[in-house]
Amino acid sequence: MRLQKPPLRGKKTSASFSFFLRCIIFFLPLVSCSRSAGGRAVPPHTFVALGTVCSVNLYEDGTEALYRRITERLQQIEGAFSVNLPSSEISAVNRMAGIAPVPVSAEVLAVLEAALAVAEKSGGAFNPAVGPLVALWGVGTETPAVPDADAIQALLPLVDYRKIQRDGAAVFLTEAGMQLDFGGIAKGYAADEAVRVAVDAGVRRALVDLGGNIYVYGKKADGTAWRVGVKNPENAGADLALQVELASGTVVTSGRYERFFEQDGIRYHHIIDPATGYPAERGVLSATVVGQSSLLADALSTAAFVLGKEKGLALLQNEYPDMDALILTADHTAAGTPRIRQTATLLRNAYGWE
């Protein structure tokens, strides 16, 4: 995964102020500070990890020590999963592609298993073996460029999740040149873990925002539902397209505005269709998934984006009935799984329900 940018192959970690602003998801129930048990105000923490701007708010149960524990946990996950850190477990597996299996930690194995399950169910639309194509396009790096068609074709056989072998606690990429990339799932896993650390410590409510990968946990003080904003993909820096109400859970969006470059007036974004080797173009501007597992929501939002509206929504309804999805399309419609109409509200008339 591209955790830290440059460390991660994902969003630029340029800490420019405008970027920072663009990273902030608009939460309607804003709370400016938290209060520790002793009564001392501990403000929410914002920091860069996993290649993106992360915000954690533990409200009245937040202490400096707990914020530190969560920050360190996120850094640890980045250290294990980032393809941009040579010391990561994923980099070690990638270096030994075609050579030998590499023992990995239980958590890397568990996330890989989860990624492979989504790969299987999505027909490879979500594909943790997409690394060679991500590297070839270089979206989010200093030098992105449209590759030669031949170069793309040559890599397609390497982008095959079925060629990832597991042998006990070891992972083997069976062909030289294969590369894992967990950029489409690691932030979701990290959000789940941040919440787990908070809950284990007795935190009653928490808001975790890992660059737009949102988890809201527990009951708000005033008893109302959380409301999470989803960006307008056509004006992501300044505008929300909708808000989702939920009691407790995760909201994850994959969008073509997140990382991209333009060449000859055409936009090339960071979500690759592993079947073609090109950025997925099935008329989706963004795909949002709502549920309890941020890991799954992260993988599924990427999968739904690649699959397009019909197949993406069918994947959710048939295989993940506990979760919901909402897809914004280029013709300005919003389409979703049946329950989402009760919880999502379109804002500003930019999009209309299908």
Which parts of this chain interact with Mg ion (CB under 5 A)? Answer: 184, 298, 301-302
Q: What's the token pair of residue 52?
A: 């993106």
What is the DSSP annotation of 136-200?
HH-TTSSS--PPPHHHHHHHGGG--GGGEEEETTEEEE-STT-----TTTHHHHHHHHHHHHHHH
Q: Which one, 286 or 302, has the nearer CB to Mg ion? A: 302
**148 vs 39: CA distance, rounded Å:** 61
Site for ligand AMP in 116-135 (CB under 6 A): 126-128, 130, 134
Beta strands in 72-158 (DSSP E): 102-103
Give which of Mg ion, ligand AMP, none residue 198 binds (C-beta under 5 to 8 Å, depending on kind): none
Give which of Mg ion, ligand AMP, none residue 233 binds (C-beta under 5 to 8 Å, depending on kind): none
Q: Which one, 42 or 119, has the nearer CB to Mg ion? A: 119
Residue 40, class by beta-carbon neighbours within 10 Å (0-12 exposed, 13-18 middle, 19+ buried)?
exposed
88 belongs to the binding site for ligand AMP (CB under 6 A):
no
Which of 185, 271, 286 is closest to 231 using CA atoms?
286
**Binding mask of the shown chain, residues 8 to 37, with x at each position contacting ligand AMP by CB under 6 A:** -xx---------------------------
Q: Which one, 81 or 172, has the nearer CB to ligand AMP? A: 81
SS3 57: strand
Residue with tokens 């031949």: 150
Q: Which one, 288 or 329, has the nearer CB to Mg ion? A: 288
Give which of Mg ion, ligand AMP, none residue 258 binds (C-beta under 5 to 8 Å, depending on kind): ligand AMP
Q: Which one, 70 or 272, has the nearer CB to ligand AMP? A: 272
Q: How far is CA 215 from CA 188, 190, 206, 226, 265, in A?
A: 9, 10, 8, 10, 36
CB of 82 to ligand AMP, least distance (A): 11
What does the binding site for ligand AMP look like in residue numbers (CB under 6 A)?
2, 9-10, 126-128, 130, 134, 181, 183-184, 254, 258, 270-272, 274, 298, 301-302, 306
